[in-house]
Amino acid sequence: MPDRRARPGAGSPKKSVWRRALPQSQAQDREPPVPPPPEPAPDPAETVSVVQAALYMDGVRVSTPATLADTFRELREQPTSMAWIGLARPTESELLSLAAEFDLHPLAVEDAMEAHQRPKLERYGETLFVVLRAARYIDASEEVDFGELHVFVGPDFVITVRHGAAPDLSAVRSRMESTPDLLKLGPEAVLYAILDAVVDGYLPVVAGVQNDMDEIETEVFRGDPEVSRRIYELSREVVEFQRATRPLVGMLHSLMAGFAKYGTDEELQRYLRDVADHVTHTSERVDGFRQALTDILTVNATLVGQQQNAEMRALAEAGFEQNEEIKKISSWAAILFAPTLVGTIYGMNFDHMPELHWLLGYPFAIVLMAVVCTSLYFIFKRRDWL
């Protein structure tokens, strides 16, 4: 395996494409050279992305450079050491400087710049590029927060580019530094520790999602009107969780397939197989969550449909009862209208009223009103209006 530091630091042909992209390597004009202006002070905003950089030798930290330039210089001065550089939302210039120093592939660097990549594993020569989707469960809002982590693994370096709050790589670094026997296995051991931390971070998320599903089931059978929205939101999180975990199964199997070819340490192989088992278990749990949410949504839709049918039936029964009451009211109104009409006619005050001096006029009017009312009563009774 060729030694990376045996190449010149600034004149390698493989690095030229990236050196031309750096601001300090612009093409020179044909005009006479002029004295270079004084270099501006570094912007503090451009340095906060370097979370931590350290050099290790035989599993023990030997140096903690303050800047990327110091890290590059000390790594060249100590050929047997390993650099572990941690970045959080780095600037473009920082990634380009790393690409120039470590001969990182342009496609991998472009992915690290843009983020929002799916989990994958790519090998570019001696450099392994891994994209991981970390997750953490937020109890306060009962939501799953996803982060993105890009890892460059080379013969003597590990570069982590973190987009998001998860995972906590400081804990990974502390764990590895407390086990120098594992750390001295090299960059692959660091990659294992990162994979293990990401996969272990899925366990609280699985527990949180399971708890949310239990609450949703209770709300479904309780008839909570807001449960449909919560099911939809949790389904989106589960789909995103599934996209983060399912590709890891194939990635780790591909990594294990290269054990013999790349001479991976046997102890490290056991650790990676253990991570692969955990990933498979988590992926199966997430797949089960998605199917369970689909079933819960179906049950909720069925219950909502039954509730709506019951409400419609109740409205129909209320409307039927209302119609029956209206029939009764209308029947009695018609019955009372007949005598009212006759009485109204005979209640007029004028001298030449027909039948005014008829002796049988009053009995005739009473009988007429009784006959009309009785006839209307039997007619409405026959029609079940009364």
pLDDT, tens only, 248-296: 888 888 888 877 777 777 888 888 888 889 999 999 999 898 888 888 8
DSSP 55: E
| Two tokens, residue 36 | 């270079």
Beta bridge partners of 56: 61, 82
pTM score > 0.75 for this model?
no
Q: State residue 216 phi and psi, 5-degree precision.
A: -65, -40
272: number of Cβ within 10 Å? 22
CB 130 within 8 A of CB 191: yes
290: number of Cβ within 10 Å? 14
pLDDT for 82 equals: 92
| Two tokens, residue 241 | 């969780």
Q: State residue 125 phi and psi, 5-degree precision.
A: 65, -120
DSSP 124: E
pLDDT for 32 equals: 43
CB 57 within 8 A of CB 86: no
CA distance 314 to 157: 73
pLDDT for 78 equals: 87
CA distance 275 to 280: 9
CB 288 within 8 A of CB 236: no
pLDDT for 15 equals: 36
Q: 266-346 and 202-222 are packed helices; what angle lies between their axes, rounded to 10 degrees?
A: 20
Strand 82-88 to 157-163 pairing = parallel
Closest Cα partner for 252 from 287, 282, 207? 282
Closest Cα partner for 18 from 113, 86, 115? 113
DSSP 125: T
pLDDT for 375 equals: 85
* Residues in the chain where the model's pLDDT stays below 50: 1-48
Reported as a single tens digit per residue, the pLDDT across 329-338 is: 888 887 787 7
C-alpha count within 13 angstroms, C-beta hemisphere, residue 46: 12
Instruction: Give the rounded distance of the alpha carbon of 147 from its chain centre.
Output: 10
CB 213 within 8 A of CB 293: yes
Beta bridge partners of 163: 148
Q: 68-77 and 92-102 are packed helices; what angle lies between their axes, rounded to 10 degrees?
A: 10
Number of helices followed by number of strands (H, E) in the chain = 12, 7
